[in-house]
Amino acid sequence: MLNAEQLANLDRDGFLVVPDAVPPEMLEALRERIEELFESEGENAGGEFKKEAGARRLANCVDKGEVFEAAIQIPIMLEAKAHILGPEFKLSSLNVRSTNPMSEADQPLHVDMNGVRDEKGYWVANTIFMLDDFTPENGATRVVPGSHRWGKRPQEEMADPFAAHPEQILVTGKAGTLVICNSHTWHGGTANRTDTQRRAMHAFFCRADKPQQQYQKKLLRPETQAGLSPALRKLLAIDDVQNDLLSAEVAVTSGFLK
């Protein structure tokens, strides 16, 4: 599990790189299943959440294979989420983002869910699964260390969030690495300037009192829900009445429900 130095670094920087955290057999199973899904879903891939120019996306991955159920239960990742968010947290979404070869655009620096720390503390935390090596040339994530403690969003402080920040660094590593992030830390993907894809999976978590980015109970098929263990049902907030109310409130506010 994580040691005191790793936890201190996570607190200081807002992210932690953990090499070899994804078992090799899981890594290969994820790669294989993800490519199957890109092939089968075609132009609809990622449609449950969003599509993006210059990248392939998948969404609602928990519903699409047992390997994804295993991935969201990696103990070191859950330990880190509890450290960031407190003991009561849930999966907000599980998505894949594959940066296309020779993509020309960086993502803007951003914080997930546009969130800043509130009176209860931090409430969003992400994990990047490096499914391929992350290099300076192929779209590695840029982060601004310590920015989670500023209580501000990039667009409030930068004239152009697409621009390089003077304190940003690139997070690189070998396939099988996990990058555990306090998602209030300013971050964004960079352009892939190579002739091969760069694949990543994002396991995004939120505090229990916040709505999920993707309402898992609605998205997961009944047969998927029926096969979930008690631990997974809790992690996905399947039986959480408060989560149902939060999701209904968001749907009404956004105009999804009339």
Condensed to tens digits (0 to 9), the pLDDT of residues 130-181 reads 999 999 999 999 999 999 999 999 999 999 999 999 999 999 999 999 999 9
Question: What pLDDT score was predicted for residue 251?
Answer: 57
Average pLDDT over residues 200-223: 96
Position of tokens 């790793």?
6
Q: At what angle do helices 75-85 and 4-13 cross, to 10 degrees?
A: 50
**Cβ atoms 242, 206 nearer than 8 A:** no
Answer yes or no: is pLDDT of 255 > 90. Answer: no
In order of start, what are the domains of the chain with their CATH numbers?
Answer: 4-254 (2.60.120.620)
Token pair, residue 67, equals: 């390997």
Give how far the C-alpha of residue 72 lies from the chain's centroid of Cα atoms, to the nearest Å. 11
Helices then strands, each counted (H, E), the chain: 9, 9
Structure tokens at 74: 């990696």
Percent of the chain past pLDDT 70, that is, above it, reads 97
Helix (H) or strand (E) holding 124: strand 124-130
Residues with Cβ < 8 Å from 203, sequence gap 6 or more?
A: 71, 72, 77, 91, 94, 126, 127, 129
